[in-house]
Amino acid sequence: MNLIVFGINHKTAPVEVREKLAISEKALEENLRLLEERAPGLREKVVLSTCNRTEIYARVSDVTGGVDELKRFLCGYHEVDRAALDRAAYVLVLEDAVEHLFKVASSLDSMIVGEPQILGQVKGAYRAAKDYSATGAIMNRLFEQSFNVAKRIRTETGIAENAVSVSFAAVELAKKIFGDLEGKTALLIGAGEMIELAVKHLMAQGVETVLVANRTYDRAKELAVQFNGEAVKFDHLHEELKRCDIVISSTGAPHFVVRRDLAENVIGQRQNRPMFFIDIAVPRDIEPSVNEIDNCYLYNIDDLHQVVEANMVERAREAQRAEEIVKGEVEQFFVWLDRLEMAPTIIALRQNVEAIRKAEVEKTLNRLGALSAEDRESIDRMTQSMINKIIHHPIANLKRKAETEEGHNYLKAVRYLFGLDK
């Protein structure tokens, strides 16, 4: 029995190959059905497909045959060139396959280490396969343990605590200033992808009201609708600022949109309640000396990048701790798997040697000619005793080793040496 992963990801395949092999959530069941028909060597299977990876996790008897079936299916169904697939694909077996899944579920193999979305995607892929009855005891145990591994890593390390995107870093800084963003009001000045991402993060953290100001009022209204917010006139900024706890600006204007004198006036009207300014414009929208005003906190794009770089270093450090957790969990999985395989291995070994004993006894008795029933029984008992004594210690040692991290190697060796998988 072998566990394998066959797949491509953002490290091995360009987007034009990944998009060809991408499988939508709606198409998952059809792919599982077709794999059942065209890849019968896959005893259990789970198909995981995201924007950065398409992977098939499977239990197979024969690795080479199973991989070949998968390649034929993927090339035929997805119309992918075999040579292109061979260049981009990877095959991982047994310990490497299990370790890979644990890292994927824990976001250690993601483009952005520590991002939380991948765990939900892995759970969705497993749920779809289980609902289709494409999994069994081994895949169920493997995937359920991967979820526990991901939970352990998030609980026991700080891998997800440090922001590694500019937009999320801005939100983390805002939380440090205000402590709690519940009920706060944010003002967007201008537009742009980073502004929109930052606001999404802010709203997820409890920001209650979003105001949008843009030189083109219609554009402000469009953006306000996305966030269930309120469009305000650009010319009325000086009036609207006093309502705002958080200001995010990116206009591309050739001059400062928020000057120091305006900020001083506004903070006075707010009775010195703190204001957080995020200036992601180049050239800058907010006069740098605003940061010198009491209770005004100003961060520009370079400040945010410095936060991100520092956090990337911290995440890398936490990822090393997470790797140790994964290593231990892989060993635990194979201890469980060895226990599962121990009984059928011992039974197969006993059956194998018993078949040989019977055949040899039969040949010997036929050659000896006329023997009494007592003599025949004595020879039979003697050979049984010999066989039991010969295999007693190997079986006892095998049982002991099954409880250790070496157990899987011993099981493989026994099955190979006695030809039990033929």
* Catalytic residue status for 244: no
Three-state secondary structure call for residue 244: coil
Q: Is 289 helix (H, G, I), strand (E, B) or coil?
A: helix
Whose CA is closest to 41, among 11, 73, 16, 84?
Answer: 73
Question: Are 188 and 223 within 8 A, CB to CB?
Answer: yes
**Separation between Cα atoms, residue 225 and residue 256, nearest integer Å:** 27
Phi, psi of 126 (to 5 degrees): -65, -45
Residues 88, 8 contacting (CB under 8 angstroms): yes
Measure the CA angle with vertex 112, ends 107 and 115; round to 5°: 50
> How far apart are the C-alpha atoms of 161 and 412, rounded to whole Å?
41
Order of all β-strands in the sheet with 275-279: 230-233, 209-214, 185-190, 246-250, 275-279, 296-300
CA proximity to 248, closest of 289, 204, 304: 304
Q: What distance separates the 2 farthest-apart alpha carbons in the chain? A: 119
Alpha carbons 347 and 344: distance in angstroms, whole number: 5
Annotated catalytic residue, options 51, 75, 244, 296: 51
With beta carbons less than 8 A apart as the criterion, state whether 286 and 258 touch.
Answer: yes
CA separation (Å) from 66 to 18, 167, 336? 21, 44, 24
Q: Spell out the alpha helix ranges (H) of 369-406.
A: 373-401
CA distance 150 to 116: 10
Contact (Cβ atoms closer than 8 angstroms) between residue 346 and residue 395: yes
Distance separating alpha carbons of residues 326 and 99, to the nearest angstrom = 7
Q: How far apart are CA 281 and CA 302, in angstroms?
A: 10
Residues designated as active site: 51
